[in-house]
């Protein structure tokens, strides 16, 4: 998650080449979590209902205006402009709705307000609107934060060891294969994760975010998984009524394609936050929560940092203090960078280049042969 500050925390200069891929330290840090927290101004941990709702209102107002213009005015445009206007709408609306997703994500971390019931209510409504099972995601995402960087227990984008690669991996290790892999990942990755736990932690039996009795959840959580499912069903019913009233093409154009953009952004952002040649993963012999939380990457998405409430360039701070409101994370990141030193990882590589590089170089993880730390794994790509 990120911060809603007015200036990006990322330095203006962009790392390039080998500097961008420089490995972060993997040993135990010379500082403690409490020392990092003391560097952050106390007000950064204060949550404001009014300020949090202002971001909800702001995003939903923009999304409503974009939809209103598309519905009422695109049909009056000349043919060439009509064809151009829809892709522009899809891109803009997808970005804005990703910001809405980020606010619901904030609710899942109890960072929206001081009231858990309010956070859950707002998160349930916003995520259901985007066809996300709020409580189901909340609980699996919480375990991701509790086990970040662990090869055995992390919940999302868990890298494979070389021995666990699929037989067809060697056929995808080329430009065409990477294009295909990225296309499938960005379009289908999110629904496949929710429905089949693709790229998630392996369980002994089938795991699904819609299954209240699946292995992801405990007995205490099952009732809320039903509530998440009810929210999805309610939204699906609303979409069904819209199709009956306006037609399938209308619903796809106004809602469906922007949702695909949202889903693509979620996968891309998460992928680049946790996948990098310079970021380690750990097995159970080496992993601890603090080093796992530090094994994340801040990225620079340019102007989209603001649109996405800086979920992109304040992710390290978010993993250390996930209940901090997003609108303070920018200030907090600036405060902790001197303390973290080399343990803080920012990569300013342009996103399209970073996406391609990570797809090419981060195929599996293995320890360095010459290293004594056999429980520390790094991304590699030589098959």
Tens digit of each residue's pLDDT (9 = 90 or more) over 35-80: 999 999 999 999 999 999 999 999 999 999 999 999 999 999 999 9
Residue 133 lies inside a defined structural domain of this protein? yes
Whether 165 is in a domain gets the answer: yes
- The pLDDT of residue 253 is 98
CA distances from 302 to 12, 306, 337 (A): 10, 8, 20
Residues 48-87 as b or e (16 or more Cβ within 10 Å = b): eeeebeebbeebbebbeebbeebeeebeeeeeeeeeebee
Handedness of CA 179, 182, 185, 188 (dihedral sign): negative
Q: Tell whether 376 is covered by a domain.
A: yes
Q: How far apart are CA 74 and CA 110, in angstroms?
A: 40
Give pTM, 2 decimals. Answer: 0.94
In a domain, 369, yes or no: yes
Cα separation, 127 vs 148, in Å, equals 23
Residues 6+ apart with CB under 8 A from 113: 47, 48, 49, 52, 119
* 3-state percent helix, strand, coil for the chain, nearest multiple of 5: 60, 5, 35
Number of domains within the chain: 1
Q: What is the pLDDT of residue 4?
A: 41
Domain with 153, as residue range(s), is 38-380
Q: Would you give per-residue pLDDT tens digits along the chain (383 residues)? A: 444 444 444 444 455 567 778 899 999 999 999 999 999 999 999 999 999 999 999 999 999 999 999 999 999 999 999 999 999 999 999 999 999 999 999 999 999 999 999 999 999 999 999 999 999 999 999 999 999 999 999 999 999 999 999 999 999 999 999 999 999 999 999 999 999 999 999 999 999 999 999 999 999 999 999 999 999 999 999 999 999 999 999 999 999 999 999 999 999 999 999 999 999 999 999 999 999 999 999 999 999 999 999 999 999 999 999 999 999 999 999 999 999 999 999 999 999 999 999 999 999 999 998 888 899 999 999 98
- The verdict on residue 27 lying in a domain is no
Question: Which pLDDT value is given to residue 5?
Answer: 41
Alpha carbons 142 and 124: distance in angstroms, whole number: 16
7 occurs within a structural domain = no
Report yes or no on 1 lying in a domain.
Answer: no
The pLDDT assigned to 383 comes to 87
Predicted confidence at residue 373, as pLDDT, reads 86
* Residue 325 in domain: yes
CA end-to-end span of the chain: 34
């Amino acid at each position: 998650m990120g911060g809603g500050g007015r200036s990006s925390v990322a330095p203006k200069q962009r790392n390039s080449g080998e500097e961008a891929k420089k490995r972060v330290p993997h040993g135990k840090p010379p500082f403690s979590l409490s020392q990092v927290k003391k560097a952050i101004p106390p007000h950064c941990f204060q949550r404001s209902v009014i300020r949090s709702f202002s971001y909800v209102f702001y995003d939903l107002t923009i999304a409503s205006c974009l939809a209103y213009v598309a519905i009422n005015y695109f049909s009056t445009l000349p043919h060439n402009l009509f064809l151009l206007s829809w892709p522009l709408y899809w891109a803009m609306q997808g970005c804005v709705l990703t910001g809405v997703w980020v606010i619901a994500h904030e609710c899942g971390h109890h960072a929206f307000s001081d009231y858990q019931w309010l956070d859950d209510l707002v998160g349930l409504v916003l995520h259901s609107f985007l066809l996300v099972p709020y409580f189901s995601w909340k609980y699996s995402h919480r375990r991701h934060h509790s086990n970040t960087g662990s090869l055995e227990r992390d919940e999302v984008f868990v890298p494979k060891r070389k021995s666990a690669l699929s037989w067809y991996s060697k056929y995808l290790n080329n430009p065409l294969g990477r294009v295909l892999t990225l296309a499938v990942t960005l379009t289908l990755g999110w629904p496949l994760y929710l429905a089949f736990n693709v790229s998630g932690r392996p369980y002994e039996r089938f795991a699904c975010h819609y299954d209240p009795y699946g292995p992801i959840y405990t007995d205490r959580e099952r009732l809320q998984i039903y509530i998440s499912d009810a929210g999805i069903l309610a939204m699906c019913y609303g979409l069904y009524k819209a199709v009956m009233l306006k037609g399938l093409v209308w619903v796809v154009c106004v809602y469906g394609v922007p949702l695909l953009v949202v889903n693509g952004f979620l996968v891309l952002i998460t992928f680049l936050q946790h996948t990098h040649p310079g970021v380690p993963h750990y097995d159970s012999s080496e992993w601890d929560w603090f080093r796992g939380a530090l094994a994340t990457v801040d990225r620079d998405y340019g102007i989209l940092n603001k649109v996405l409430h800086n979920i992109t360039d304040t992710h390290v701070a978010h993993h250390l203090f996930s209940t901090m409101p997003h609108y303070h994370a920018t200030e907090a990141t600036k405060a902790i960078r001197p303390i973290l030193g080399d343990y803080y990882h920012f990569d300013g590589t342009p996103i399209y280049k970073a996406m391609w590089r990570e797809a090419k170089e981060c195929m599996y993880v293995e320890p360095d042969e010459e290293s004594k730390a056999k429980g520390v794994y790094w991304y590699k790509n030589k098959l």
